[in-house]
Amino acid sequence: MSLALWPATASEQAAHIDGLFTGLLVVTGLILLLVAGLLLLFCIRYRRGTQAKRGDLPEFLRRDVELGWTAATLFLALFLFWWAGTLELRASMAPPEALEIHVVAKQWMWKARHPNGAREIDALHVPRGEAVRLVMTSQDVIHSFYVPAFRVKQDVLPGRFTEMWFRPTRTGEYRLFCAEFCGTQHSRMGGMVTVMEPEDYASWAAAQPQEQDLPGEGEALFTALGCAGCHAPASAVHAPVLQGVYGRMVHLADGRTVRADQAYLRDSILQPQRDVVAGYAPIMPSFAGLVDEADLQRLVAYLQSLRGEAAR
Amino acid sequence: MSGAAALRKPYRSLRRQREAAEFGLWVFLGSEVMFFAGALTAYAVYRALWAEAFTAAARETSIFYGTLNTAILLTSSLAMAAAAEAARAGLRRMTLRCLGLTIALGLAFLAVKGLEYREDIQKHLVPGNGFALAEPKAQIFFAFYWLLTGVHALHMVIGLGVVATLLVQAWRRRRPLASPAFEAAGLYWHFVDIVWIVLYPLLYLAGRA
Amino acid sequence: MSDVTAERAIPDTPPAEENYLTAGTSLASWLLTTDHKRVALLYMATITVFFFLGGAAAVMMRIELVTPQGDLLSDDAYNRAFTFHGVVMVWFFLIPSIPNILGNFLLPLMIGAKDLAFPRLNLLSWYIFVIAGILAIYTLLAGGVDTGWTFYTPLSTAFANGQVLAAAAAVFVAGFSTIATSVNFIATVHLLRAPGLTWLRLPLFVWAIYATSIVMVLATPVLAMVLLLIFAERAFGIPIFDPLRGGDPILFQHLFWFYSHPAVYIMILPSFGVISELVTCFARRRVFGYNFMVYAILWIALVGFLVWGHHMFVSGQSMLANLVFSFLSFVVAVPSAIKVFNWTSTLYRGQIVFDAAMIYALGFIGLFTIGGLTGLFLASVPVDVHVTDTYFVVAHFHYIMVGGAVSALYGGLTFWWPKITGRMHPESWARFAAILMFFGFGFTFFPMFIMGFLGMPRRYHIYAPEYQIWHVLASAGAVLLAVAYLLPMGYFGWSLFRGRRATANPWGATGLEWQTSSPPPKENFFAPPVVLQGPYNYHPEHAGPPSLEREPHEPQGGPTERAP
């Protein structure tokens, strides 16, 4: 185990922040040396019984020096504020062309989704030299996305999006931590950020299992939930065929006519008895409680996609 | 009771001792202001964020009970102020009557508050499952409604306890009318009154303009 | 050891007259006392218990962290250990320690009063504190809390499975004790100063306690309210901060830090006062720039209310808010720097002796300087983004609160021990403990700066192996530190029975508290003192101490006559 005194520097910001950190180290180091030096000097020179000159303090020491170092520390503080503040302002905005990766945090894992649909858990692959913007949210408590090698950290909150960006400059593997205490396994919530050459990143992303599109997932659900058993064109059960139903006007058993829009499809899944299509028996069971909001979105998206097929 | 007997340990003069009770209470009231300020800041933030939900929710509170209570509380403050002045002037019967009236009005306030709470519960205005309003942010308004009125009612109960103690002590002549406690209790009572004057527009008048 | 035997060889004369310790020995005379000095001792006993409890939690953590895996504690047990450590150390040790032990004992003595303004309220605040303490111990016995001392929502309101309600109640109740004490202190300083003791003649310890009390009165109620909100949300499901119903968890952080940043000054301001008393006495010099010291204390107390947002640079608050809070945080560094420079300059042309209390004070100045300077790193937004929520922050605030406030507490106890108990502690043991505390502290907490900068997040039960070396160093240093904390308990206890009797003013100090017997009589002074001049008259005003001899100083209160 080698003894590192400086963390790996793998992003553009890291270099700037290290500059500021070094500056602060020098300034505070000098102040500390001054204070410690004076303490030691006075303690030795003016220890009890030495021959050093005592007596009244010169007038300039009593007032001018006090005012002087008050002003000096104030100016130093203002200077440091200026330095840190300008650095912060310059780095605040992500460049518009930045690669946007969505991050969802939950107890106790990080989930990332790349622009092409590639997904990963507790890991993040990013291309070197390109600005990467993370759009993050949490499903439960507050977490914090922290990559020491990039010198970036941002709390991830439930119910809203927070953003951060960085531009990796060195390939390699760097640690990812959750930095905001988030419950029992807080210390296990982390992973690795892998910085790759852009072409490696492209081939990596292409090789990942793609996220299925919403209609595709909806189709799987349509079969899994048994919808296809009745609504398929070849089914023995007397149920409406759904090909091309989206957007059409349908006649209901009670004489009304409604447009089969998203809301209608959604209601028909949850409350099938309400708007029964004319000519069919009210035999469909309710799926309320069996499907959640996300499943509903998928199913409706699938039905929407069927419209195109029917038209073809 | 003679002046020397009323002088307690750390003090060298009665005047200082009187000052101390009042001064200490003022400092404590500074603390109380910050206590309510914490909740009122949170209220202000949410009202700025969810203005419509808040005004819609505020229309559900009972303006009748709220206004009635405002009147009762203001009158009780008058009685309390009269009690403190009477005590200072050494008018024993007047002091006792005014303290009694203060307590009666304070109890009336709590009784009206109880009726109001009962109505609110019947109208399903307690945040949680089965809440009356659909907008979830309306629940935040009612969270503050219950908390602020509840904490205020708790202050009323404490104030009633203090005034009742003074009444009993003055009745049994165990506390001289010159005691700074009457003035101090008055300060506290008025403070609780002022808190209500802040809460009344925030909780009852919002959305009714 | 030879020193100790030499001390014991001196004949042990019993004190001539009754003092506050001997005026009644029944249990009731202690539990129902309204004497501020006895209440201070009650606080001392209670706070010591909590110091041990919080310390035990720290010991468990340091042992656990020797290896990167979790060997000693489970995830949950570790989380409960650091939460308990934080809650107990903040609210049951650091905040009450100096104000309630030394402040309670010394404030009336230093201003020439017979007692605090409201003696019964003082006792009541101790009982409230004990109730809060029992709640805190109940929390521990019932399984502990796992939210961190910061109670961040929604973790604390909807997800944590520990005793959040009991812990919040404990802290809530402790707040009442704090407010009662500070109301008492403020009224005392305003109303009970001895004749002639004008505001700018007050010892700096009194100023520090006074400023602390103002911060306590104004900040603590905000904590009480925010805990009430958390309590209501968790207990009754009332939405306040719930993001699912439109609540804002960041608002909780704003309210919480509006209290908790001033709380840092509640913890450190009293130690500024202690150090000012110690440095002047053992350097035999008037404090350098008395007025500036007073203004610095008040400036810190005021601006300390305006910097809370620097705890939230990565929370998602706006860039503007970040810059404003960064600016104010740099500004609040200036008065702290003034204090350090002034203590250092007080040594200039002094007649310095290195008694144990002085060693604590010098150690304090060094450690506080490091703690304060690293605050500049944290005030710089870009650097803070990297090191916040890492061990860098842990090291920073331990330098302020443990290196600072706890060193000052031990230094103050050492300095005023003869006054409190009437017995001298063994000086060489005390010097040894003071030096050990300085180095033990450095070994424990300096490695944390390095590992924090390397990226080690705080509140981690298991960690990446590259940080192990620093954790091992810290744990080894903690052994030294533990010895340095336990040692004084031993020799202080020993001195109670075997220590040399103390004279009224063993250090030759000028404060009013030294112008009465050790220990003081029940009503503090035999004759009410009258003050004719400012504090720290270790030498005539426009002269220094003489070159060779220690000149007899002039006490602030003038000669007090013993009542016949």
pLDDT at C71: 87
Indicate yes or no: CB of B27 within 8 angstroms of CB of C114. no
- How many CB contacts within 8 angstroms connect chain B with chain C? 119
pLDDT at C563: 38
Whether chain C has a CB inside 8 Å of the CB on B53: the answer is yes
Instruction: Report helix, strand or coil for C540.
Output: coil
pLDDT at A293 over 80: no
pLDDT at A1 over 50: no
pLDDT at C558: 56
Q: Which of B8, B28, B127 sits opposite C239 (nearest CB)?
A: B127
pLDDT at C12 over 60: no
pLDDT at C551: 56
pLDDT at A201 over 50: yes
Residue of A9, A11, A70, A293 to mutate, testing the C interface (most C Cβ within 10 Å of its Cβ):
A70
Binned at pLDDT 50, 70 and 90, residue A208 comes out as confident
Q: What percent of chain A has pLDDT over 90?
A: 46
Structure tokens at C430: 């005390």
pLDDT at A133 over 60: yes
pLDDT in tens, C453-500: 999 999 999 999 999 999 999 999 999 999 999 999 999 999 999 999
pLDDT in tens, B110-169: 999 999 999 999 999 998 888 888 888 899 999 999 999 999 999 999 999 999 999 999
Binned at pLDDT 50, 70 and 90, residue A216 comes out as confident
pTM, full prediction: 0.87
CA torsion, ordered C179, C185, C186, C191, to nearest 10 deg: 140
pLDDT at B6: 67
A1-37+65-211 with A214-311: one CATH topology? no
pLDDT at C300 over 90: yes
Which DSSP category does A286 fall into?
Answer: P
CA torsion, ordered A82, A87, A88, A93, to nearest 10 deg: 140
Indicate yes or no: CB of C366 within 8 angstroms of CB of A36. yes
Q: What's the angle, vertex CA C47, arms to CA C46 and CA C53, rounded to 5?
A: 100
pLDDT at A129 over 50: yes
Q: What's the angle, vertex CA C455, arms to CA C454 and CA C459, rounded to 5?
A: 130
Indicate yes or no: CB of B34 within 8 angstroms of CB of C218. yes
pLDDT at C550: 56
Distance from CA of A202 to the nearest CA of C (A): 29
Domains and CATH numbers, chain C: 37-515 (1.20.210.10)
Average pLDDT over residues C63-90: 94
Whether chain B has a CB inside 8 Å of the CB on C239: the answer is yes
Binned at pLDDT 50, 70 and 90, residue C15 comes out as low
Instruction: Report helix, strand or coil for C528.
Output: coil
Whether chain C has a CB inside 8 Å of the CB on B52: the answer is no
Binned at pLDDT 50, 70 and 90, residue A117 comes out as confident
Average pLDDT over residues C487-514: 93
pLDDT in tens, B18-67: 889 889 999 999 999 999 999 999 999 999 999 989 999 999 999 999 99
Order of all β-strands in the sheet with A162-166: A119-121, A109-113, A99-106, A132-138, A162-166
Q: Do chains B and C touch (3 or more CB pairs under 8 A)?
A: yes
Indicate yes or no: CB of A80 within 8 angstroms of CB of C455. no
pLDDT at A183 over 80: yes
In chain A, domain spans? 1-37+65-211, 214-311
Look over chain C and give the mean of its residue pLDDT values, rounded to a whole number: 91
What ipTM was reported for this prediction?
0.92
Instruction: Report helix, strand or coil for C48.
Output: helix
pLDDT at A312: 36
Look over chain A and give the mean of its residue pLDDT values, rounded to a whole number: 86
Indicate yes or no: CB of A88 within 8 angstroms of CB of C450. no
- Its CATH architecture, for the domain B12-205, is Up-down Bundle (1.20)
Binned at pLDDT 50, 70 and 90, residue C294 comes out as very high
Residue of A180, A182, A188, A193 to mutate, testing the C interface (most C Cβ within 10 Å of its Cβ):
A180
Superfamily of domain A214-311 in the CATH hierarchy: Cytochrome c-like domain (1.10.760.10)
Of A205-214, A223-232, C98-107, C378-387, the range with the lowest mean pLDDT is: A205-214
pLDDT at A223 over 90: no
Residue of chain C minimizing CA distance to B44: C251
In chain B, domain spans? 12-205
- How is chain A split among helix, strand and coil, in percent rounded to 5? 40, 25, 35
Indicate yes or no: CB of C222 within 8 angstroms of CB of B143. no
The CATH class of the A1-37+65-211 domain is mainly beta
B146 CB neighbours in chain C (<8 A) are 238
pLDDT at B184: 92
pLDDT at B4: 44
Whether chain B has a CB inside 8 Å of the CB on C250: the answer is no
pLDDT at C205 over 50: yes
Termini Cα distance of chain C = 41
Q: Do chains A and C touch (3 or more CB pairs under 8 A)?
A: yes
Of A132-146, B123-137, C25-39, C425-439, the range with the lowest mean pLDDT is: B123-137
Distance CA A207, CA A199 (A): 12
Q: Which of A56, A84, A188 sits opposite C326 (nearest CB)?
A: A84
pLDDT in tens, A75-107: 999 999 999 999 989 888 889 899 989 999 988
